[in-house]
Structure 1
Amino acid sequence: MLLNSALILLGCAVRHASASEVYNTFDGDGFPACNAVAKVYRPSTVDEMVTIVKNASAQGIPVRASGNAHMWFDTMCSDNPNTIIVKTDAVNGISDLQMDGNTGSVVVEAGVTFPQVAQWLQDRGAALGFTLVNWNITLGGAIAMGAHRSSLREDSQVSAAALAMDIINGKGELVHLEKSANNDTWLAATTSLGLLGIIARVKISVLADYKVWANQTTLDEEDVLNGDMFAQMSPYVTANYWWWPSVKKFHMRTYGVLPVNASGNAFQSTFSVTPVEGALALALLNGGQNSSTANFFSADTFYALWSAPNFHETVLNLPLISWPVVGHAYDVLIGGLYPNELPEWDYDLHGHTLELAVPIQQGPALLRRVRELFDQSAADGQAVTSTYRSGINIKLGKPFDSFLGQTTERVGNVTADWSKGAMMFDFPSFVPTTGDRHRFNEAWYTTLATTLINEFPVRPHWTKNTRTIFGQAVKNLDQDSLRRFAAVRAQFDPDKTFRSVVGEIIGVV
């Protein structure tokens, strides 16, 4: 009763607030996910989240859920400054592990991160499958945003592991859903963008514990741009490319399964940086704000560093220096931070990114078009290359049916064959910390996005693109899927308590 009364009073204060605050992405100050919100709540139970939503809905206050703000741009909320955030990271219970031989299930709450559940499972002889993604993302957030691993052989979208979920709808009611591949409600819930409500609990499929090997080979650019990506990557349980345009090379990273008793304790982190590395990288990348030559030097340096494994051995915490490496599934596929190191964004190594999905058969053609744009920038005297410490990430996705999924075979009026899966072109670029913070040849990035959206049937990643790019890409989305998603959303949230800029742009709110 006291909690309910307090929340009502807080809700009234929110409604009449004259001040608001910025809610940032994981990058921190200067990188807003929401430009103005009235209040950020951090509940610790599902019941508290239910109460917050119920009271906000009764007063017409917009609500958005957020795990760890795994966003790049200001698209998470609507532009209503009365919006409140329900931060879910403290609602992180794990329970009810059920195993039947090599497969099973577990129930996780909204704010559980991949490292939390991975360690909990490993302690009990189980492991996540191949749908895991970045170490700092919550599982509820990953399902809502359509997050994915990179694989053409195994299920790669996080939602594919969901067997059931509880969603707090726009009225503050807890709605239980069971997996049903042909049901519109399930097809909407598995990439909901948070527009159906807050994903409070998820029952996910798990496997008996296992290890994996990781290997990396270097390819000439032409081997990928003129090759058969499906043939190259489909044999592996998970695989991806890192593109280094400055040297016209690709790193091809591949993974396979080993028994849990295999020798090896490798642990990786894409984002783990020492203070010395952070300072050097920041100086190198800032030097490229007004210099093409400096950008190419930085890119060549990072290419050389990434040719060796970005893995440590977990017992002695010593770098591994040769491929392949072996370790527990989560440690090798995702990992986290090394001891006494911080994520790169803590050193002002921030990025803007563009991520677009295209049918894998058209992947090489899209990359060839990007190469043409690189070459044109050089011919114009303003040569551009990758300006991020890990190159351009080329990921792959097995088809997964969801109204707003990147790899769904739903095509609508845009003719394209997605039946073999998708290639995700993920192009992060460094945001300078000096001057006007524009990148070298800033206009080129606008040309890149517009060209790919107009010339290919690309679909946008839901947290890695600007408002402008979402607006341009709407024409490539299946309009029937949007209509059917909007119909489910209207049932869950008729008063539009949950809304976002993305939902407004694509017309489902």
Structure 2
Amino acid sequence: MVSFAVLFGALSLFQLGAALTYNTFDGDGFPACYNVSKVYRPSTVNEIQSIVKDAASKGLPVRASGNGHMWYDTMCSDDPNTVIIKTDAVNQISDLVLQNGVGSVVVEAGATFPQVAEWLHARGASLSYTLVNWNITIAGAIAMGAHRSSLREDSQVSSAALALDIINGNGDIVHLERDQTNDTWLAATTSLGLLGVIARAKIAVVADFKVYSNQTILDEEDVLNADLYEQISPYVTANYWWWPGQKKFHLRTYGVVPIDTWGNAFQSTFSVTDVEGNLALSLLNSGQNASLPNFATEAVFYGLWSAPNFHDKITNLPLLFWPVYGYAYDVLIGGLYPGQKPEWDYNLHGKTLELAVPITQANALLKRVRELFDQSAKDGMAVTSTYRSGINIKFGKPFDSFLGQTTERVGNRTADWSKGAMMFDFPSFVPTTGDHHRYNEAWYATLAKTLIDEFPVRPHWTKNTRDIFRQSVKNLDQDSLNRFAKVREQFDPKKTFRSIVGEIIGVV
């Protein structure tokens, strides 16, 4: 039976027995799951086990969720009996070991990156380059194959996992130790939550360190025609921001500096004031039915993005010149500035398309996207970047897991993934007026279909629509899917843990 404490936690969130919509981080109107039956908020691993056992005995589907870092309605199956386990209150951090600059720490299911980073910083340690976002849990990032941007460092979050405790479909804890030759480990390190709930993760850590961040502006042709591997690989992490209306790129690069380097830079790519949020909403909405306002808005954001989006963590004063210096987590990820709120609090919501392509085909993909931009202009319906930070282009060093984006595993569409992958991430603003369609909405579907049909791209697991997953199945390695499904059957023979993504790719 589910304990009274767990039931009370659920009641504190939602009324039981009613049809519920579980939302993405964007809130109302942006469902991750439709018509779920209950949302539990346990406070211990034992309570999570109790919920899973109860649900499995009744044949109810279960999904674990940290902070709802989803963009679309793909997190659950469409079964209205689905039970959500919200893990954010199960967030203990313990067992730090740090010797000669390296070590490990154990985190529970709901511990977020900022919680762990701040806890480690106070003890002289750091998560290194397995950092993702200030609102994502580490366990959730492991499950979805999340990554930083690097061709030099092991930047996929799963690459830092040394051991995992997974609550399987029977409610039992299965302990796994890192073993890259073992199918169970290769399935668990990008499991999509389909093996069970990651109750604990033992994560590799290093001694705390500082980094710099620098940014240069490049003409579009100097990126599209460059050797991207050579341009990016010298840096421990780097990414491009593409402004297609300006035909410019921002290249942001990072590297290690001595720990005693002056500087306390703190980044936030989401944090905005009331004035900024309301102004951005007006500017972006003005382009719903016309092309020109979108280009004008992009020019404004391009100018703002050219300066550092960093404050000093101690004084909260803005930093005005590149490069900036600070502790790794503060510079690479950061969070919210004091007195500011995340952009989605101002109805600055987005749709996105994120696809991984071998870096050997990255130039060809970017040039194809430019051709599609040019074609839209010829057709009299020109589109450009309609989000406040342009198109984000990231990179990933190869990491072997059955469902990882950067694995060297290939299927029928062979390609060389051995040098790593480029992640093409194209967020775009969702208007808050009218039918909520973007300007030239059909173009975005054309973009996705073209890239999926012409390149061996793999989808990001939380940032694509159901249609994108259906189209992308042909680019996935069937052997990897089959081997993942066999591991899943061992963990969850009753198919308690289900999702739309798992159903589409055929592993449920």
**Shorter-chain TM-score category?**
over 0.9
Instruction: Give the equivalent residue in structure 1 for 2:402.
Output: 403
CA distance in structure 2 between the partners assigned to 1:257 and 1:283 by the alignment: 40
Within-5 A mapping of 1:29-428? 29-428=28-427
Contact 1:7 1:52 in 2 (8 A): no
The answer for unaligned runs of 5 or more in structure 2 is none
Aligned amino acid, residue 471 of structure 1: R
% identical equivalent positions: 75
Deviations 1:86-114 (A, max 9, x none): 00000000000001111000000010000
Deviations 1:6-63 (A, max 9, x none): 869x99xx9x95x311000000000000011000000000000000001110110110
Aligned amino acid, residue 370 of structure 1: V
Moved more, 310-319 or 432-441: 310-319
Question: Once the 2 structures are TM-superposed, how far is the Cα of residue 3 of structure 1 from its aligned partner?
Answer: 1.6
Instruction: Give the equivalent residue in structure 1 for 2:3.
Output: 3
CA distance in structure 2 between the partners assigned to 1:81 and 1:433 by the alignment: 28
Moved more, 253-262 or 60-69: 253-262
Question: Once the 2 structures are TM-superposed, how far is the Cα of residue 394 of structure 1 from its aligned partner?
Answer: 0.0
Q: TM-score, normalised by structure 2?
A: 0.98
Q: Secondary structure at the match of 2:325?
A: strand
Contact 2:6 2:47 in 1 (8 A): no
CA distance in structure 2 between the partners assigned to 1:131 and 1:434 by the alignment: 38
Contact 2:452 2:471 in 1 (8 A): yes
CA distance in structure 1 between the partners assigned to 2:319 and 2:383 by the alignment: 32
CA distance in structure 2 between the partners assigned to 1:186 and 1:435 by the alignment: 48
Instruction: Give the equivalent residue in structure 2 for 1:444.
Output: 443
Question: Once the 2 structures are TM-superposed, how far is the Cα of residue 259 of structure 1 from its aligned partner?
Answer: 2.0
Question: Once the 2 structures are TM-superposed, how far is the Cα of residue 414 of structure 1 from its aligned partner?
Answer: 1.3
Deviations 1:133-165 (A, max 9, x none): 011000010000111000000011100000001
Aligned amino acid, residue 31 of structure 2: P
CA distance in structure 2 between the partners assigned to 1:3 and 1:312 by the alignment: 45
Contact 1:214 1:325 in 2 (8 A): yes
Instruction: Give the equivalent residue in structure 1 for 2:483.
Output: 484
Question: Once the 2 structures are TM-superposed, how far is the Cα of residue 233 of structure 1 from its aligned partner?
Answer: 0.4
CA distance in structure 2 between the partners assigned to 1:228 and 1:342 by the alignment: 39
Contact 2:152 2:235 in 1 (8 A): yes
Q: Secondary structure at the match of 2:296?
A: helix
CA distance in structure 2 between the partners assigned to 1:139 and 1:313 by the alignment: 26
CA distance in structure 2 between the partners assigned to 1:7 and 1:480 by the alignment: 41
Contact 1:33 1:77 in 2 (8 A): yes
Moved more, 167-176 or 255-264: 255-264
The answer for unaligned runs of 5 or more in structure 1 is none
CA distance in structure 2 between the partners assigned to 1:193 and 1:171 by the alignment: 18
CA distance in structure 2 between the partners assigned to 1:39 and 1:334 by the alignment: 33
Deviations 1:371-414 (A, max 9, x none): 00000000000000000000000000000000000000000211
Question: Once the 2 structures are TM-superposed, how far is the Cα of residue 258 of structure 1 from its aligned partner?
Answer: 1.4
CA distance in structure 1 between the partners assigned to 2:6 and 2:331 by the alignment: 45
- Give the total of aligned pairs: 504
Contact 1:125 1:208 in 2 (8 A): yes
CA distance in structure 2 between the partners assigned to 1:321 and 1:489 by the alignment: 50
Contact 2:355 2:458 in 1 (8 A): yes
CA distance in structure 1 between the partners assigned to 2:290 and 2:318 by the alignment: 33
Contact 2:2 2:47 in 1 (8 A): no
Question: Once the 2 structures are TM-superposed, how far is the Cα of residue 131 of structure 1 from its aligned partner?
Answer: 1.1
CA distance in structure 1 between the partners assigned to 2:38 and 2:467 by the alignment: 27
CA distance in structure 1 between the partners assigned to 2:70 and 2:2 by the alignment: 34
Q: In 2 relative to 1, CA 211–503 (structure 1 residues): closer, same or farther, beyond 3 Å?
A: same
CA distance in structure 2 between the partners assigned to 1:179 and 1:243 by the alignment: 37
Aligned amino acid, residue 413 of structure 1: N
Q: Secondary structure at the match of 1:218?
A: strand
Q: TM-score, normalised by structure 1?
A: 0.97
Aligned amino acid, residue 3 of structure 2: L
Runs of 4+ with deviation above 3 angstroms: 4-8
Q: In 2 relative to 1, CA 5–232 (structure 1 residues): closer, same or farther, beyond 3 Å?
A: closer
CA distance in structure 2 between the partners assigned to 1:378 and 1:260 by the alignment: 49
Aligned amino acid, residue 43 of structure 1: P
Question: Once the 2 structures are TM-superposed, how far is the Cα of residue 351 of structure 1 from its aligned partner?
Answer: 0.1
